[in-house]
Chains A and B, each alone.
Chain A
Amino acid sequence: MSDNTSSFNSNTSLYTNSSLWKQNLIIKKDQFIYSRTVRKNTKNTLFITTFILLSFIIAILFASLFGGYDFSSLFKSMFSVGALYKEFFVSATVLGVAGLSFLFAYKSGLFNIGISGQMLGSGLALVGLSKALTSTNSPILNSESAVILSIFVVMITGAFIALISGLLKTFFNINEVVSAIMLNWIIFYLAKFFIVGTSGVGAGSLGGVNGNSLMINHNLSLYSPVHDSGYIGALVLFLLLVVSIWFVFKFTSFGKKIIAVGQSKSAGIYSGFQTKTLQLSSFVISGAIAGILALIVYTGQTASTFIRSDVALGNMIPSEGFNGIAISLVAFNNPLLIIPISLLFSMVRACLDFPTGLGDLILALTMYSIAIFAVVYQIKPLHWIRRNMMKKEKYKNSYFVYQEEENTKEFINELRKKLAYRQIVLFLERKKLSDANLSFQERRRKYKESQIIINQRYLTEVYELKKNYTPWYKSFNKQINVEREEN
């Protein structure tokens, strides 16, 4: 006993000898790697950023391999063509603002699929405003600050359209997805009626040339002739929105309440929040942001500012809203993360060499890989490789495992021998019977009889083997016991 204690003391002295800062370093390192909270946070942020980038790159490679496009032109065209950066920024803001609009409703647990409809409706209202003001020659149009008026109008109409489906949700308990889809189509056909309609009161009243709508007045639009683009206004609006939404969710009780309701509605009710008003207000704000999206989409891009003809003539609801859903979900519903992600995806859209379908496909593939994000937590490749590829596994008590394996090796070999011997005997028996001239029934009966005898013999042999065999750890115990008995 005394020897044991001395050896223990000698071990501890190692620690006292090493300097203090080294100990601290080791403790800090252990904390960083093994502390649960720190590890969780770092792991999450690391995973999310790498996962988004990786899935984006894989999606680009996959799509370009499939379609046979040179993906390096993605980066080349960004720098080679001078005027491309304007389009790039505008499309980035379009994606980003649509994502923000979706995010605000999704934080409270509502799914705003009607961003496109709200956008189209407020664009229509903008055209109407422009027509009304130009026909009366009002002095508002003379100054460039008329943009503020158009921002107000656009936000109010978007909020109003969102309010309809929000009220249907709160008062009649109608699923907001269905009512928003219906409103999308209603607004779409109303827009078609006002732009290209032929018969009826007010039909085609907002229509211009080539099936487009009337032009929106320059002072009401984000477009500035100095820069030949509206990208500065769009960027300012986008960044303002991002910062304010981030502020609302980070520092105000309103935002915190919305998040709480979105996480669990019943928990919100129990803690005394007015969940219905909270959800309604978040949905309405989402609609207002969709209105701002309309301002960027319809007046931010080119000098001719109108609702484009493909909306009016084609049979498709504008896809900006649906892309926004994807952007927001890819960004894990984080307002700050929306900026880099919208920049990333607009890079593909602005690239001239790619066909239009490719940007959508890459977004879709990234979206799906985000949808199967949980794979990251379930699949552990390093662990799998260590378990399956490497022959020697690292056990905590590897000495015991090694001894156990050594001990059982002989026993298992013996067992295998016995089994093989039994198979051989059975085979010989069957062959002997098949050579003999017997009827089928008799042969089968005889074979079964001999089979029983052989099996019995085999089992008794195995039984004896097992009787003699003692696992290594048991023998270990026995030895100790024997020693104690002697003492």
Chain B
Amino acid sequence: MNINLIFIMFCIFALGAASGYFSERVGIVNIGINGMMIFGAMMFSIFGGLMNPIGKDNDNLFIVALLLAALSTTIFGVFFGFSTIVLKTDHVIAGTAINLLGAGLGLLFTNILGPLIFGAAATELRNAFPYLWLIDQKIGLYGSVLLTALIVIIILIVFMIIFKFHRFGLRYKSIGENPNASDSQGINVKKYQWIGVIISSILAGLAGAIFMTRTGGSTPFFGEVDGLGFMALAIMITGSWKLPLIVIVSIIFSLLYSFSEVKNDNVDSNLIKLIPYILTLVFLVIFSKWMRGPKFAGQHFDKSRR
């Protein structure tokens, strides 16, 4: 098993699911995680190509590129928030639009910008940063992978503490249950919803950017993130809208996913790849009784409905 892949898949799944968690806890169903991830991956490869051209050796800048890609995805968050919070369109319609927008932009720009940034030989945008700082020869663990995983874990722990103990997190969760009640207590619901949507987009963009670094080589970007955004959505629901459970489920998923990448002569690899999906369905059937999402998810906040 490739240990780097386990860490990176964990980062992608956990961040994507946390992105869904952030928007759903303020009552906004975010189906557009996949589109946001695609945009993040595209921006990461563009920034990577500009920062680390073929002749130069700027490999250490990969964290800057990750952060820039994550921050630039706020554009999608603003689009999504404008349509859902301000104009009160159906969340699912807006999310589908974001998904399509991400895929369309990715498909178009990867062919246009690829030769411009990476030289005439390249037909697509690609990852510019290799793995760095080899730690252990036997396992093949790299320091850069560990660093990104550490950053993600720290982010997740901070989120957990905030949502368990801090005033901000408790107010945040209250909006997902009954925004009119929290509005009556003087909480600015729309402000919290905007914060939620934008943080959600940043996390999804970071997940997409990390997706590009998954192999450590110059992997081309085909305007897709292999549907991992939808997987993240499923993980969030399997984790029953709770951060600690989400982290556990994403660890299991990352293990299963990287296990299915191993080549085995006895069993077909496609059948092994089925396992996580079937397991999720089984999980969902077993634990569906105890699962309960935020009550207000999918509805529009209306001040006059108090």
Chain A positions within 8 Å of B, measured between CB atoms, are: 63, 66-67, 111, 113, 168, 172-175, 177-179, 181-183, 185-186, 189-190, 192-193, 196-200, 203, 315-317, 319, 322, 325-326, 329, 355-358, 360-365, 367-368, 370-375, 378
- Nearest CB to that of A360 among chain B residues? B104
B270 within 8 A of A: yes
Instruction: Report the Cα distance A350→B112, complex, angstroms.
Output: 20
Instruction: Report the Cα distance A168→B270, complex, angstroms.
Output: 24
B87, A374: Cβ atoms under 8 Å?
Answer: yes
- Among A177, A197, A316, point to the contact of B31 (Cβ < 8 A): A177
Contacts of B238 in A (CB 8 A): 178
B103, A317: Cβ atoms under 8 Å?
Answer: no
**In the complex where A186-B274, A203-B268, A368-B79 touch, is A179 in contact with B87 (Cβ < 8 A)?**
no
Chosen A-B contacts, 16 in total, with CB atoms closer than 8 Å, are: A67-B112, A173-B288, A174-B285, A178-B237, A181-B231, A183-B281, A185-B274, A189-B273, A192-B270, A198-B268, A203-B268, A315-B226, A316-B226, A364-B104, A371-B94, A375-B87
- Additional A-B contacts beyond A315-B224, A326-B97, A374-B88 (19; CB < 8 A): A172-B285, A173-B288, A178-B284, A179-B281, A181-B233, A182-B277, A183-B281, A185-B277, A193-B271, A199-B265, A326-B96, A326-B100, A357-B108, A357-B110, A357-B111, A367-B96, A368-B83, A373-B89, A378-B87
Instruction: Report the Cα distance A74→B101, complex, angstroms.
Output: 21
- Among A315, A319, A372, point to the contact of B82 (Cβ < 8 A): A372
Interface of A is mostly: helix
Chain B positions within 8 Å of A, measured between CB atoms, are: 31, 79, 82-83, 87-90, 92-94, 96-112, 223-224, 226-227, 230-231, 233-234, 237-238, 265-268, 270-271, 273-274, 277-278, 280-281, 284-285, 288
Instruction: Report the Cα distance A362→B93, complex, angstroms.
Output: 16
Contacts of B100 in A (CB 8 A): 322, 326, 360, 363-364, 367-368
Contacts of A373 in B (CB 8 A): 89
- Nearest CB to that of B95 among chain A residues? A371
B99, A322: Cβ atoms under 8 Å?
Answer: yes
Instruction: Report the Cα distance A182→B93, complex, angstroms.
Output: 21
A371, B89: Cβ atoms under 8 Å?
Answer: yes
Instruction: Report the Cα distance A357→B100, complex, angstroms.
Output: 11
A360, B270: Cβ atoms under 8 Å?
Answer: no
Interface of B is mostly: helix
- Nearest CB to that of A329 among chain B residues? B93
B93, A370: Cβ atoms under 8 Å?
Answer: yes
- Nearest CB to that of B278 among chain A residues? A186
Contacts of A370 in B (CB 8 A): 93, 97
- Nearest CB to that of A367 among chain B residues? B97
A168, B83: Cβ atoms under 8 Å?
Answer: no
Contacts of A67 in B (CB 8 A): 108, 112
- Nearest CB to that of A59 among chain B residues? B104
B101, A367: Cβ atoms under 8 Å?
Answer: yes
A200, B107: Cβ atoms under 8 Å?
Answer: no
Instruction: Report the Cα distance A355→B223, complex, angstroms.
Output: 13
Q: Shortest beta-carbon distance, A106 to chain B, in Å?
A: 9
- Nearest CB to that of A358 among chain B residues? B108
9 tightest CB-CB pairs across the interface, nearest first? A357-B107, A361-B104, A364-B100, A357-B108, A364-B104, A360-B104, A374-B87, A193-B270, A368-B97
Q: Shortest beta-carbon distance, A131 to chain B, in Å?
A: 19
